[in-house]
Amino acid sequence: MVSNAPIKLKIPKQDLQQFSLFQLDEGAARDWAQSLPVANTQSVVQQLRHALSDLNRVEISPENRYLIIESLQPSLLVALSNLERRYLNQPLVMPEEPRQMAEVAGSLCDLAATAYSIVAIHAIQQRDSIRNTNPARLAAEAIHRALLFSGHKLLLTFQLHRQVELHGWLTLHQLYALAEAQGLQKLPINEPLGGASTIAGNYVQALLLGCCKPNQLRQSDLAAVYRGLRDWAELVQLRQPPGAEGIFLVNIDSDQPPLYSSLYNEPQNPQCRYVDTRGLIRHLEDLLQAGGGKDITYGKDLRLAGNTVEHLIKALGSMSLRNFKRVSSPHPLWISIGLSAAHYHLAGERVFERLLYGDQYMPPAASRVATNPFLQHQERGDLWQQANPEEDFSPQEHYGETEAAIEVEHRIDLDEQTRAELLGEDTEPLSADERYPIFKVQLANGSPGGYCLEWSEGLPGDTRSGDLVSLKEEQSRGWVLAVIRWISQLENARTLVGLELLSPKAKPYGALIHSKTGEKSAPMRVLLLPEVKLVGQPHTLITPRAGFSERQRITLVREGEEYFIQLLRQITATASFAQFDFRYIKQMGEVLGEDRSGHLASPYDSLWSKI
């Protein structure tokens, strides 16, 4: 697949006459990097940006440039890792400081990718002047590194739910096109630096990240997916038309992500590549079946959940289109976040205990410490201390004054309510309205299947994709159940959130899980989604993410109602909840109460009338 199309990579002119930070050789660059103040991330980042920016504009040989960048690379990776901690896991509408940290991290990735791109281009253009290394090997390793940093920038963009900036996809495509034009895309890289083992693998890893509906995944899920795609990239084939097929198609001469091949309207040209994911889908299905839905662990804090693997299979293996057209609407919505809040509002603003036992329910004495004198805190010392006062330990007597004064200070930050409870202070319990707050949001557009909301700074910042929400329109009295499917940060600082409606009439219940010994757990909040015969949707049960599994037997309870069910197949799951199909199980009283006045089925039953 060698192409003669011109490469559109843009690199700066080498017009800087003098480089002032260090001598332009590998040893001096390494010494300079090791002298950076590692504890001061801001200073390290500023100096690295200065060094890379000037280095990209100075004229030096490609092999020397490569060695210098490689000397700076460890410090660069540490700086990116430190910056990552500052801009990830932030509120949905990100504050100014983390936003600036993210922009700095993106600019570092751009500068590093540009530095390696210059090495690759000059190695190809000046191959006859290179003496100490193989020009093809140098170009291949430089393109591989450039793709690595470009892919990291793409991951950062998706984790922040932003749009890929102008020329972002084009740079990625053209780096691969450069390698393909030189026949380097399959050359194994000796030190892949945390990337795939070939240039094609690095390119496919970034491509697939754009194909897997990243705005529907959480930041930690995206990091785990990107890590998994590194190992699975070799299972994906890039094929040139004609005579090729694949669910996705990408034009490496454009600034566009991969598109569904069936929706590609322009004439196919030699720059088009089909992305054949069938081998990867088979591998993911085998992984899911062999692991039984368990997480795939890549490190201490990097886990790929089973439901995320299912998401990848659907996103990379089949085409999904929007079923309904969205219509703009200026009307506001009222929204509450989380399973507990949805349970409370769907129950008619009744707390969990009153839903189960009725409005006259009173908490047991053990939970009413303030009115129970026998459960109030008693001001007295430890009984063992009173019984053996002579055995009390004194650090001054044992170690002496100097050694006893040496203590290790531990700081634990607690919220006011937890601190008050630990110290035995009186606390005012939160009201139901404070525990399950309602927020007013602006509706951008809507359809029969969902809504698009415009999120603002006054709304909960810890909201994530996959969270349950309950909604109510302005003229409606009833609450409906929905789930956050995607999040998008626009250039004008607007944050859009896409909601998919799950059910207009969800019913709240308490669920008691039956153990194998016959014992029942304490009640937990669940939501029953009734059957919708018109669209062929069966009844399902929404449960917390942990504690529930297939084949479990459960009793659903609320005031005046009790049902015995068994969970069947887990239909879907997010980081916040799981959804199960289930069946009702008849209990003994129901079986005995059935009408049996009809004809008896057994041929021996007629004998009873003759006895």
pLDDT tens for each residue of 348-404: 999 999 999 888 777 665 555 454 555 555 444 444 444 554 444 454 444 444 444
Domain span at 39: 1-187
Do 554 and 441 lie in one domain? The reply is no
**Residue 35 per-residue DSSP state:** T
Check: CB of residue 509 under 8 Å from CB of residue 486: no
The angle formed by the CA atoms of residues 423, 425 and 430, to the nearest 5 degrees, is: 115
Distance CA 233, CA 420 (A): 53
Check: CB of residue 466 under 8 Å from CB of residue 422: no
Check: CB of residue 130 under 8 Å from CB of residue 187: no
The confidence score (pLDDT) of residue 309 equals: 93
The confidence score (pLDDT) of residue 537 equals: 82
Distance CA 433, CA 436 (A): 5
**Rounded mean pLDDT of the chain?**
85
Do 8 and 86 lie in one domain? The reply is yes
The angle formed by the CA atoms of residues 306, 311 and 315, to the nearest 5 degrees, is: 150
365 domain residue, yes or no? no
- The mean per-residue pLDDT over the stretch 489-514 comes to 89
Strand partners, 218: none
**Residue 378 per-residue DSSP state:** P
Question: Number of helices and strands (H, E) in the chain?
Answer: 18, 19
Q: Looking at residue 552, which CATH number applies to its domain? A: 2.40.10
The confidence score (pLDDT) of residue 71 equals: 96
What digits encode the pLDDT tens for the residues 395-433?
444 444 444 444 444 445 555 556 555 655 555 667 888
Using a 10 angstrom Cβ sphere, with 0-12 exposed, 13-18 middle and 19 or more buried, the burial of residue 154 is buried
Distance CA 368, CA 476 (A): 37
Evaluated on CA atoms 191, 193, 194, 196, the torsion sign reads negative
Q: Which two tokens stand for residue 168?
A: 């972002």
- State the CB neighbour count (10 A cutoff) for residue 71: 20
- The mean per-residue pLDDT over the stretch 251-264 comes to 92
Distance CA 302, CA 231 (A): 14
Distance CA 540, CA 531 (A): 8
73 domain residue, yes or no? yes
Q: Which two tokens stand for residue 390?
A: 């002579």
pLDDT above 80: residue 534: no
Look at 532 and 405; give whichever has higher pLDDT. Answer: 532
The confidence score (pLDDT) of residue 363 equals: 65
pLDDT above 60: residue 598: no
Q: Which of 109-123, 266-280, 336-350, 593-607 has the lowest mean pLDDT?
A: 593-607
Percent of the chain with pLDDT over 90: 58
Integer CA distances (angstroms), 168 to 342, 494, 537, in order: 40, 21, 42
Work out how many domains the chain is built from and give that number.
4
Of the residues 454, 481, 503, the one at which a domain ends: 503
Check: CB of residue 335 under 8 Å from CB of residue 468: no
41 domain residue, yes or no? yes
Do 96 and 231 lie in one domain? The reply is no
Q: Which two tokens stand for residue 99?
A: 């936003």
Q: Looking at residue 445, which CATH number applies to its domain? A: 2.40.10.220
Distance CA 557, CA 258 (A): 49
Fill in the amino acid letter for 288. L
Distance CA 107, CA 540 (A): 47
Distance CA 386, CA 380 (A): 10
368 domain residue, yes or no? no
53 domain residue, yes or no? yes
User: Half-sphere exposure of residue 36, counting CA atoms within 13 Å on the CB side?
Assistant: 29
pLDDT above 50: residue 111: yes
Distance CA 107, CA 45 (A): 10
Integer CA distances (angstroms), 155 to 105, 162, 219, 347, 382, in order: 11, 10, 9, 41, 56
Reference 295, options 205, 221, 214, 231; nearest CA is: 221
- The mean per-residue pLDDT over the stretch 272-293 comes to 91
Q: Which two tokens stand for residue 469?
A: 């929400």
Do 181 and 217 lie in one domain? The reply is no
- The mean per-residue pLDDT over the stretch 93-112 comes to 93
520 domain residue, yes or no? yes
Q: Which two tokens stand for residue 102?
A: 């993210």
Do 42 and 180 lie in one domain? The reply is yes
Integer CA distances (angstroms), 224 to 155, 211, 341, in order: 11, 15, 30
Task: Classify each residue of 554-591 as buried b or exposed e, where b means 16 or more C-beta atoms within 10 Å of its C-beta.
Answer: bbbbbeeeeeebebbebebbbbbbbbbebeeeeeeeee
Check: CB of residue 459 under 8 Å from CB of residue 334: no
Do 541 and 472 lie in one domain? The reply is no
Do 498 and 512 lie in one domain? The reply is no
Distance CA 416, CA 175 (A): 54
The confidence score (pLDDT) of residue 430 equals: 78
Do 160 and 216 lie in one domain? The reply is no
Strand partners, 250: 273
For the chain, the straight-line distance linking the first and the last C-alpha, in angstroms and rounded, comes to: 91
Do 136 and 246 lie in one domain? The reply is no
Reference 131, options 69, 185, 62; nearest CA is: 62
Q: Which residues contact 403 (CB under 8 A, 6 or more apart)?
A: 395
Do 36 and 164 lie in one domain? The reply is yes
Reference 302, options 22, 84, 458; nearest CA is: 84
Instruction: Report CA 50 to chain centroid distance, whole Å.
Output: 33
Of the residues 276, 305, 321, the one at which a domain ends: 321
Of the residues 483, 503, 523, the one at which a domain ends: 503
Do 473 and 530 lie in one domain? The reply is no
Reference 218, options 296, 158, 175; nearest CA is: 158
Using a 10 angstrom Cβ sphere, with 0-12 exposed, 13-18 middle and 19 or more buried, the burial of residue 376 is exposed
pLDDT above 70: residue 1: no
The confidence score (pLDDT) of residue 409 equals: 44
Distance CA 108, CA 471 (A): 41
Q: Which two tokens stand for residue 242?
A: 């004609």
Reference 456, options 489, 488, 494; nearest CA is: 494
13 domain residue, yes or no? yes
Look at 454 and 401; give whichever has higher pLDDT. Answer: 454
Q: What is the largest CA-CA distance in the chain?
A: 118
Integer CA distances (angstroms), 134 to 119, 129, 130, in order: 13, 11, 8
User: Half-sphere exposure of residue 559, counting CA atoms within 13 Å on the CB side?
Assistant: 13
Do 497 and 550 lie in one domain? The reply is no
